[in-house]
Amino acid sequence: GQQLNQSPQSMFIQEGEDVSMNCTSSSIFNTWLWYKQDPGEGPVLLIALYKAGELTSNGRLTAQFGITRKDSFLNISASIPSDVGIYFCAGDNTDKLIFGTGTRLQVFP
C-alpha cells in the first residue's frame, strides 16, 4: 500500500530554534495536511494545502505543497516548549487520508 515517509524521525532542539521536517511519497496526492498530536490526545489539524507549490502559514508554522505533488514540508519558527509533540503529515488521494510515519519533536528550555 501507499506509504508516506517523514523525516527526521525525531528532533531534539533548544527553545527558540527553527525546525524543518518533510514528508515524501511515491504517489501523487491532491491535498496535504499537517497534524500535531499530544500524548493521549487526538491529532489536531495545523495546516491544509490544496495546490502544488502552495505555501501556507499559520502563526509560526509554514507548510508547502511540493511541486511534484509527492512531498510536503513543515517549518516551525522560534520554537517554544508547547511545540513538543508528534507531527504527522497526511496525504489525500481522493479515496482516503494516508498518514506519514511521524516526527517526534522535543524542545529543551
Residues within the interface to other proteins (CB under 8 A): 31, 33, 35, 40-45, 48, 88, 90, 92, 94-97, 99-102
Q: What are phi and psi of 36, to 5 degrees?
A: -120, 135
- Residue with smaller CB distance to other proteins, 33 or 107: 33
Name which of 48 and 77 has its Cβ closer to other proteins: 48
* CA angle at 37 for the pair 92 and 101, rounded to the nearest 5°: 55
Beta strand spans in 1-109 (E)? 4-7, 10-14, 19-25, 31-37, 44-49, 55-58, 61-65, 71-76, 85-92, 97-99, 103-108
Q: How far is the CB of 78 from other proteins (least distance, A)?
A: 26
Rounded to a whole number of angstroms, the minimum distance from the CB of residue 99 to other proteins is: 4
Specify the residue, 23 or 107, whose C-beta has the smaller distance to other proteins: 23
Work out how close the CB of 83 gets to other proteins at its nearest, in angstroms, rounded to a whole number.
19
